[in-house]
């Protein structure tokens, strides 16, 4: 038999040499060795791989990770170190004020020829990644990014006319009807090439993730969580086996562990969404077509995952949603700006037990059931009339799974800022929420022991309980438990007045053609709103690489600058510096490359790449064995042809809402797509249930349409094309490199 095998195989040729000698592999929120496209590409593309993690919280501006989030990051990196050690390598840790500066320094120290990393979609990361790619190009270093975070890239899922969707129902319907399934999860590599000797770095403990006092205050978290890829996969397997079947019936109950609790694991990339998707679909397929309960629960669970996808989708196409409303009219809301009310809400001393229990659980554990997140958020915005941005920032500081994109989506929905949200004057009824989600008061008793002896009838409204009952329960309102900081009647009156102010601002914007909110279909039918298409935008084309790069990065640079500095004058200055003075930035985003910064060619406005083509990577291409020795433009065509996606060949023009604030139209750019999508919005946001997209994997069902059953592939994992979304370096003179700098 062995002779026959030798005869069939013939003489063995040595494997081709890797195209790069050294590759830097930049880890951020993708701390896993399974289904990691950048890791697989680096392993097969280089003889030496340098894994690096750069801790640079200063560049996050107002959104530096909070105490609990940093605890998780520290534990996740510890677990990830063990995974890398098992593959024969180790992490290089760097502490820097800016990631780009640290990566450039590492390239110069090691002589690396390429940098690989996975995509992120929050506005600050979009700017940072663009700066890194520009810096690598100026150094002649191959720079490439991959999709390791979502099922489909934001530029793959588009409406007619290459417009982004602005309602979840239309977005998720399109995702379910995509002509090709999500990429199959990638395997764990058998080994990682060693990093070159002498690469300096600090230790994990010396990164300064936490102070000694913070580490001591986080000790209770060890009893509830097990960060790392091993813990993530264990939780998922247990959930699929024991809880998934009844997820649809129990997910909203707060007095039990009814959700997957995977959100912090998913946020830090310890487990991929593709792995979760296919594991859930395989479990559903095993039950057969007649298991109705399984079908409904899996469709519901995947829909909750869809909200996370949608959050990144909105953040990519509308990169300002973490700081201001998608619907312009809500920006006129007359907020209270009352610090004493905000303090009472943060400390769980509002006098409303369900809200107070949630806020105390948040501060104690760094986690909240998603329904409680919605209840607490709605109380802040609608009852206290405090700015939703305050609540978003507090959630960001306190949550283990703090996620900027999901937080922006959830808070915008609760505040009526989205096209498919409740109108601004909609208010959750606290008593009804308590009756539905904590009917026996067990959740309140756990986090508010002072109310532990209150009967279920009165535990959610102790201010209405008889005096003798309060005495027997040991409750003294105003002493050991606060009186309500505001009555329901006062809240409703203040909210109605705020809505009247918003409506008045709509009329004052333009008496002849006022902008109308998307949440009011009857008004939409009466008077169409102005759209950006009616505004004459400058048509001159930029000249030179620097001008093109500035326009490409425009909106994202301005958004990040605003996130780092809340002062309005800084906003205006940032927009002028980004080239946004009175005109819209229109970054061309093809399916093959992102923010390349090169001049557009004549082929549908796609970026062109001069100079050397991308290297050929043996054994890493699609299943058809097509060569990968191609430029980024060629890779884009090949990818589009392989997937046969009509959306893949479309140019995505990102909506710019901040630029110039569209003064000529009296409204912001990007509302065109919001208003066009509004008539398609279902009743999902108007059936008495709040859109639950506050950051947990468990989110509220948004529509009643059955989920489309996706095909469960059985083929082996296909390694992603390394030329996908690549920026091919061009040879630049020293003068050109100096001109480019960091500011795009």
Q: What is the pLDDT of residues 340-353, one digit of tens each?
A: 999 999 999 999 99
pLDDT band at 132 (very low <50, low <70, confident <90, very high): very high
CB distance 438 to 460 below 8 Å = yes
Q: pLDDT tens digits, residue range 15-70?
A: 455 688 999 999 999 999 999 999 999 999 998 999 999 999 999 888 999 999 99
What gap in Å lies between CA 174 and CA 157, rounded to an integer? 7
pLDDT band at 212 (very low <50, low <70, confident <90, very high): confident
Task: Say what the pLDDT of residue 79 is.
Answer: 95
Task: Say what the pLDDT of residue 227 is.
Answer: 94
Q: Does residue 200 register a pLDDT over 50?
A: yes
Q: Does residue 9 register a pLDDT over 50?
A: no
- The third-level CATH classification (topology) of the domain covering 328-489 is DNA Cyclobutane Dipyrimidine Photolyase, subunit A; domain 3 (1.10.579)
Letter string b/e over residues 19-49, b meaning 16 or more CB atoms within 10 A of that residue's CB:
bbebbbbbbbbbbbbbbbbbbbbbbbbbebb
Q: Does residue 394 register a pLDDT over 90?
A: yes
Task: Say what the pLDDT of residue 548 is.
Answer: 39
CB-facing half-sphere around the CA of 120: CA atoms within 13 A: 26
For the chain, give the percent of residues with pLDDT over 70. Answer: 64
Average pLDDT of span 521-549: 37
Task: Say what the pLDDT of residue 241 is.
Answer: 87
Look up tokens 């020293």; give the residue: 734
233, 361, 432 from 454: Cα distances, Å = 40, 19, 18
Task: Say what the pLDDT of residue 288 is.
Answer: 64
Q: Does residue 737 register a pLDDT over 80?
A: no
pLDDT band at 524 (very low <50, low <70, confident <90, very high): very low
433: Cβ–Cβ under 8 A, 6 or more apart, which residues?
A: 354, 371, 375
Q: Does residue 625 register a pLDDT over 90?
A: no
CB distance 430 to 354 below 8 Å = yes
Task: Say what the pLDDT of residue 453 is.
Answer: 94
Q: Which of 187, 23, 46 is nearest to 719 (CA)?
A: 187
**Residue with more model confidence, 281 or 582:** 281
Average pLDDT of span 671-678: 39
Which spans in 143-272 are helix H?
A: 168-176, 212-217, 229-242, 247-250, 263-267
Task: Say what the pLDDT of residue 252 is.
Answer: 64
403: Cα separation from own chain's centroid:
6
> How many residues are given for the chain?
744
Beta strands in 1-91 (DSSP E): 20-27, 46-55
What gap in Å lies between CA 58 and CA 443, rounded to an integer? 38
Q: Does residue 613 register a pLDDT over 50?
A: no
Q: Does residue 605 register a pLDDT over 60?
A: no
Q: Does residue 633 register a pLDDT over 50?
A: no
Which range, 178-182, 643-647, 652-656, has the best average confidence (pLDDT)?
178-182
What gap in Å lies between CA 465 and CA 714, rounded to an integer? 61
Token digits for 710? 């996706």
What gap in Å lies between CA 703 and CA 428, rounded to an integer? 19
Average pLDDT of span 482-499: 94
What gap in Å lies between CA 340 and CA 488, rounded to an integer? 18
Q: Does residue 719 register a pLDDT over 60?
A: no
228-237, 238-247, 434-443, 508-517: which has the minimum mean pLDDT? 508-517
For the chain, give the percent of residues with pLDDT over 90. Answer: 48
Q: Does residue 460 register a pLDDT over 70?
A: yes
pLDDT band at 540 (very low <50, low <70, confident <90, very high): very low
pLDDT band at 296 (very low <50, low <70, confident <90, very high): confident
Average pLDDT of span 499-510: 75
Q: Which of 149, 221, 209, 215 is nearest to 367 (CA)?
A: 221
Domain residue spans of the chain: 328-489
Task: Say what the pLDDT of residue 509 is.
Answer: 52
CB-facing half-sphere around the CA of 86: CA atoms within 13 A: 11
Average pLDDT of span 183-191: 94
Task: Say what the pLDDT of residue 342 is.
Answer: 97
- Full-model pTM: 0.70
Mean pLDDT of the chain: 73
Q: Does residue 521 register a pLDDT over 50?
A: no
pLDDT band at 248 (very low <50, low <70, confident <90, very high): confident
Task: Say what the pLDDT of residue 414 is.
Answer: 94
Average pLDDT of span 98-108: 94
Dihedral sign, Cα of residue 324, residue 329, residue 332, residue 334:
negative
What gap in Å lies between CA 57 and CA 63, rounded to an integer? 8
Q: Which of 592, 549, 557 is nearest to 575 (CA)?
A: 557
Average pLDDT of span 631-655: 34
Average pLDDT of span 325-333: 88
Q: Does residue 108 register a pLDDT over 70?
A: yes
pLDDT band at 361 (very low <50, low <70, confident <90, very high): very high
Q: Does residue 104 register a pLDDT over 90?
A: yes
Task: Say what the pLDDT of residue 169 is.
Answer: 94
Q: Does residue 539 register a pLDDT over 70?
A: no
pLDDT band at 119 (very low <50, low <70, confident <90, very high): very high
CB distance 299 to 706 below 8 Å = yes
Q: pLDDT tens digits, residue range 281-295?
A: 988 888 765 566 677
Q: Which of 310, 312, 282 is nearest to 298 (CA)?
A: 282
Average pLDDT of span 393-411: 94
DSSP symbol at 142: E
Average pLDDT of span 214-237: 89
**Residue with more model confidence, 613 or 192:** 192
Q: Does residue 651 register a pLDDT over 90?
A: no
69's enclosing H/E stretch is helix 67-86
């Amino acid at each position: 038999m062995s002779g026959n095998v030798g005869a069939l195989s013939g003489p063995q040729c040595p494997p081709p040499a890797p195209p790069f000698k050294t590759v830097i592999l930049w880890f951020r929120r993708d701390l896993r060795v399974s289904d990691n496209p950048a890791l697989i590409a680096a392993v097969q593309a280089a003889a030496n791989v340098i894994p690096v993690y750069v801790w640079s919280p200063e560049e996050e501006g107002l959104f530096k990770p909070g105490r609990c989030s940093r605890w998780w990051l520290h534990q996740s990196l510890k677990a990830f170190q063990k995974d890398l050690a098992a593959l024969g390598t180790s992490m290089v840790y760097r502490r820097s004020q800016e990631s780009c500066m640290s990566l450039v320094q590492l390239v110069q120290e090691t002589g690396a020829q390429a940098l690989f990393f996975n995509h992120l979609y929050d506005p600050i990361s979009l700017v940072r990644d663009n700066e890194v790619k520009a810096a690598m190009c100026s150094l002649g270093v191959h720079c490439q990014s991959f999709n390791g975070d979502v099922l489909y890239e934001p530029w793959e899922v588009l409406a007619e006319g290459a417009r982004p969707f602005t309602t979840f129902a239309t977005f998720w319907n399109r995702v379910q009807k995509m002509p090709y399934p999500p990429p199959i999860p990638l395997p764990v590599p058998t080994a990682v090439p060693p990093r070159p000797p002498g690469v300096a770095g600090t230790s994990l403990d010396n990164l300064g993730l936490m102070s000694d006092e913070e580490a001591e205050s986080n000790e209770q978290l060890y009893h509830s969580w097990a960060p790392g890829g091993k813990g993530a996969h264990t939780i998922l397997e247990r959930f699929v086996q024991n809880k998934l079947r009844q997820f649809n019936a129990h997910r909203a109950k707060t007095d039990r562990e009814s959700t997957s609790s995977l959100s912090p694991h998913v946020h830090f990339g310890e487990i991929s969404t593709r792995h979760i998707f296919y594991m859930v679909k395989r479990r559903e397929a095993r039950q057969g077509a007649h298991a109705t309960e399984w079908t409904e629960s899996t469709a519901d669970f995947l829909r909750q995952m869809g909200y996370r996808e949608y959050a990144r989708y909105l953040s990519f196409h509308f990169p300002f949603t973490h700081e201001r409303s998608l619907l312009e009219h809500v920006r006129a809301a007359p907020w209270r700006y009352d610090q004493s009310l905000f303090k009472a809400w943060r400390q769980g001393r509002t006098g409303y037990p369900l809200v107070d229990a949630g806020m105390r659980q948040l501060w104690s554990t760094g986690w909240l059931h998603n329904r409680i997140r919605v209840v607490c958020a709605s109380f802040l915005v609608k009852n206290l009339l405090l700015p939703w941005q305050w609540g978003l920032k507090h959630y960001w500081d306190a949550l283990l799974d703090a996620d900027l994109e999901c937080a922006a989506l959830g808070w915008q929905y609760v505040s009526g800022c989205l096209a498919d949200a409740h109108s601004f004057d909609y208010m959750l009824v606290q008593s009804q929420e308590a009756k539905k989600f904590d009917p026996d008061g067990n959740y309140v008793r756990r986090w508010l022991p002072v109310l532990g002896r209150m009967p279920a009838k009165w535990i959610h409204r102790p201010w209405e309980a008889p005096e003798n009952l309060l005495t027997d329960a040991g409750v003294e309102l105003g002493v050991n438990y606060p009186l309500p900081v505001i009555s329901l009647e006062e809240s409703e009156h203040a909210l109605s007045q705020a809505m009247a102010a918003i409506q008045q601002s709509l009329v004052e914007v333009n008496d002849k053609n006022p902008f109308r909110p998307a949440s009011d279909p009857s008004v939409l039918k009466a008077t169409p709103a102005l759209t950006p298409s009616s505004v004459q935008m400058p048509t001159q084309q930029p000249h030179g690489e620097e001008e093109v790069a500035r326009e490409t990065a425009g909106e994202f640079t301005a958004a990040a600058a605003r996130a780092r500095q809340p002062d309005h004058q800084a906003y205006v200055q940032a927009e002028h510096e980004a080239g946004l003075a009175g005109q819209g930035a229109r970054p061309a985003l093809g399916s093959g490359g992102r923010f390349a910064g090169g001049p557009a060619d004549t082929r549908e406005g796609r970026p062109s790449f001069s100079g050397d083509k991308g290297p050929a990577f043996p054994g890493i291409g699609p299943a058809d064995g097509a060569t990968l020795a191609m430029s980024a433009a060629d890779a884009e065509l090949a990818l589009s042809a392989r997937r046969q996606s009509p959306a893949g060949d479309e140019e995505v023009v990102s909506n710019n809402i901040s630029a110039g604030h569209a003064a000529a139209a009296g409204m912001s750019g990007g509302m065109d797509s919001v208003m066009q999508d509004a008539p398609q919005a279902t009743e999902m946001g108007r059936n008495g249930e709040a859109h639950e997209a506050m950051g947990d994997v468990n989110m509220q069902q948004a529509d009643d349409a059955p989920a489309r059953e996706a095909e469960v592939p059985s083929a082996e994992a296909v390694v992603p094309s390394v030329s996908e979304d690549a920026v091919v370096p061009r040879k630049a003179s020293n003068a050109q490199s100096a001109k480019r700098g960091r500011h795009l």
